[in-house]
Amino acid sequence: MQWHDEAIVLTVRRFGETAAIASLFTREHGRHSGLVRGGASRRLAGVLQPGNQVAAAWRGRLDEQLGQFRLELTQARAAQVMDEPPRLAALSSLTALLATALPERAPHPALFEASALLLDGLASESSWTALYVRWELGLLAELGFGLDLTRCAVTGTDADLAYVSPRTGRAVAAEAGRPYAERLLPLPSFLAAGRGTPPANDAGRDVADGLRLTGFFLARALLAQGGHLPPARERLRLWLEGEALPPPGPLPAPPGGVKPLP
């Protein structure tokens, strides 16, 4: 059996003296692993970098076998952000989350397209941080943990949305959520009601709130699979929050006590 597909390199580990096992995120075949002969060589070192896009040819006697990859580099994305530590941290976080969260061989073509667009944006877009937060929202939706940020869970309004319930993942308007504010997650203004990038003067805080929001639900989604947030995601948070912003407070605990959350 064999197939050809576009792919993003996620992880690579050495196998034997000269080979490597690569995990790729392919457009039509999902997350897929295979043996790369000569993968430990200098010749392929520049190809097998996480975040790079490759043309992948897979061959195996049976579909369920590990099989072998032949790879051709089509876009060297890792090299484009190598000198920009925050952008490189975002690339590492993206590949680590995909490698951790996606099941083997389950196609996610829309997520592949979104991932490729974000990886391109890391090298060129000034607003890449907001794009990254939106990508994590898309990942949550693909995992079946999508958030409803369009209307207030209490009043039904789409105006003045300010919070997200950690219990339901639904937005809450400012007035309705005020009595529970300490137990709700802040909703960044650029995510409320489909708005665009954060305003320049609030970009740092909005992105920090966005990472806190998506991180809370990603941790829950991965916990349901028996996993946890990869270290690369925490390194990204530290890059984007650690020096310019005060560390965020603790995430709200699951609902309990006298007052129910919205």
Among 192, 191, 188, 153, CA closest to 169: 153
CATH number belonging to the domain at 2-77, selected among 3.20.20.140, 3.40.50.720, 1.10.10.10, 2.40.50.140: 2.40.50.140
Token readout for 181 is: 């504010």
Length, in residues, of the chain? 262
pLDDT for residue 241:
77
Q: How many CA atoms lie within 13 A of 201 on its CB side?
A: 0
Q: Which letter does DSSP use for residue 187 in this model? A: -
Q: How far apart are CA 223 and CA 30, in angstroms?
A: 21
- CA angle (113, 116, 117) in 5-degree steps: 85
Question: What is the block-wise mean pLDDT of the chain (262 residues), using blocks of 10 residues?
Answer: 95 93 97 94 92 95 86 94 93 97 95 97 90 96 94 93 96 95 94 63 78 95 91 91 49 41 47
pLDDT for residue 176:
95
pLDDT for residue 260:
44
Domain residue extents for the chain: 2-77, 125-241
Residue 35 near residue 57 (C-beta atoms within 8 A): no
Among 105, 99, 80, CA closest to 27: 105
